[in-house]
Amino acid sequence: MNVVNTVPINTSRDLRFTSEVEQHTAHLYAKVSKVIPEVEWPIFAPMIHRINHLKAEKNAVILGHNYMTPEIFHCVADFAGDSLALARHAASTDADIIVMAGVHFMAETAKLLSPDKKVLIPDMDAGCTLAESITGEDVRKLKAQYPGVPVVTYVNTSADVKAESDICCTSGNAVEIIEGLGVPRVIMLPDEYLALNTAKKVKQEIITWKGRCVVHEMFTAEDIRVMRTDHPGIVVLAHPECSPEVIDEADYSGSTSGMAGYVAKYKPAKVVLVTECSMSDNVAAEHPDIDFVRPCNLCPFMKKIELSNILTSLESDQHQVLIDEAVAVRARVSVERMLTGWAPGSA
């Protein structure tokens, strides 16, 4: 997604909904009119207009996760996607500044892959319960307990944890990464449900950790059965951070971009995305003919990112994501191996 700026840069912080702002943001409102009421647009539009000017002025790029609210996802993000796509984009962008409209581990991953760029996160408290569930010390203990067993670490972790790992994965490539290791046993951290769901698709034995996503652990298999009774014919798509019981009830399981891709490809008449709330809004904005049922849960960490703090972040270059170099050198290896491929015994 590219937001094209065709207007001169306005350096003042005038956030009134003027006719100029209305005119220059009309094409953006057209993208989100199905999910953002007209009455709310005068609040969003001036900030969107200012953010898009500042990006051009500072050669900054905004990377937006699929869980961002629609005014961020569709109106200021230059590139939007799942964790894997955001990491790939962070590695290849030629912008001077990356603003991560997502959570802290995503900003850290961007910094690992683009160490010479300024990486900003609008709110330092945009964390993740999975990232909080494990420390580098925990990984060292596990490695001592299972010597020689490779450690595959979900990107939803701190740089400290990545530094202790052999290779990273996301929900979009976990099966491929684990199969590619070519070993009979792996440790997969920290999401127990993602590990159990992946274990069903690979031949290897997987040693798990007890991390959980606060958003996805809330869904139950009974929720899905009730949904199918209430909405006959509904197609159920679920994120692999849900429990294996939920995944067993779903028609498809995949990363956030995997689910969006499924909707775009198969265009089900009625669908539910068993994941974070904003995801349905963002996909629904692009598919006005599809009926979305929305028994979603909010991620309190993703929701810390708003237009107002994105604007402050760009104006004041805050908050810069910095990683201790000794940690970064080792953590980068795990992330780069995920992107380029690796097997134990190779460099």
Of 241, 249, 281, 306, which lies in the binding site for ligand 13P, with binding defined by CB under 6 A? 241
List the single partner that 163 binds among ligand SF4, ligand 13P, none, CB under 5 to 8 Å by kind.
Answer: none
Instruction: Report the greatest alpha carbon distance in the chain.
Output: 66
Would you give the binding string for ligand SF4 spanning residues 169-208, x where CB under 6 A is met? ----------------------------------------
In the bound state with ligand 13P, the residue whose beta carbon lies nearer, of 154 and 292, is: 154
How far apart, in Å, are the Cα atoms of 154 and each of 43, 109, 127, 275, 290?
A: 37, 11, 15, 18, 32
205 burial level (CB within 10 Å; 0-12, 13-18, 19+): exposed
CB 67 within 8 A of CB 279: yes
DSSP-derived letter for residue 114 is S
Residue of the chain from 25, 52, 256, 309 that contacts ligand 13P (CB under 6 A): 256
Decide if residue 299 touches ligand SF4 (CB under 6 A): yes
All residues at 6 or more sequence positions from 274 whose CB lies less than 8 Å from its CB, including other chains: 216, 219, 223, 224, 236, 237, 238, 239, 242, 246, 250, 295
Q: Is 171 in the site for ligand 13P (CB under 6 A)?
A: yes
Binding-site member from 213, 236, 331, 333 for ligand SF4 (CB under 6 A): 213
Total residues contacting ligand SF4 (rule CB under 6 A)?
13
* 23-82 binders of ligand 13P (CB under 6 A): 66, 82
Give the DSSP per-residue string, 307-338: HHHHHHHHHHT-SBP---HHHHHHHHHHHHHH
Nearer to ligand SF4 by Cβ, of 210 and 267: the residue is: 210
For position 215 contacting ligand SF4 by CB under 6 A, the verdict is yes
Which parts of 113-132 interact with ligand SF4 (CB under 6 A)? 128-130
Q: Does 280 bind ligand SF4 (CB under 6 A)?
A: no
Q: How many CB atoms lie within 10 A of CB 89?
A: 20
Residue 301 binds which one of ligand SF4, ligand 13P, none, with CB within 5 to 8 A depending on kind? ligand SF4
Q: Applying CB under 6 A, does 156 fall inside the site for ligand SF4?
A: yes
- Compare residues 48 and 335 and give the one whose CB is closer to ligand SF4: 335
- Assess contact for 149 and 185: CB atoms under 8 A: yes
> Which is closer to ligand SF4, CB of 134 or CB of 215?
215
Say how far apart CA 98 and CA 114 lie, in whole Å.
9
Residues that bind ligand 13P (CB under 6 A): 66, 82-84, 156, 170-172, 213, 239, 241, 255-256
Binding site for ligand SF4 (CB under 6 A): 103, 128-130, 156, 213-215, 241, 276, 299, 301-302
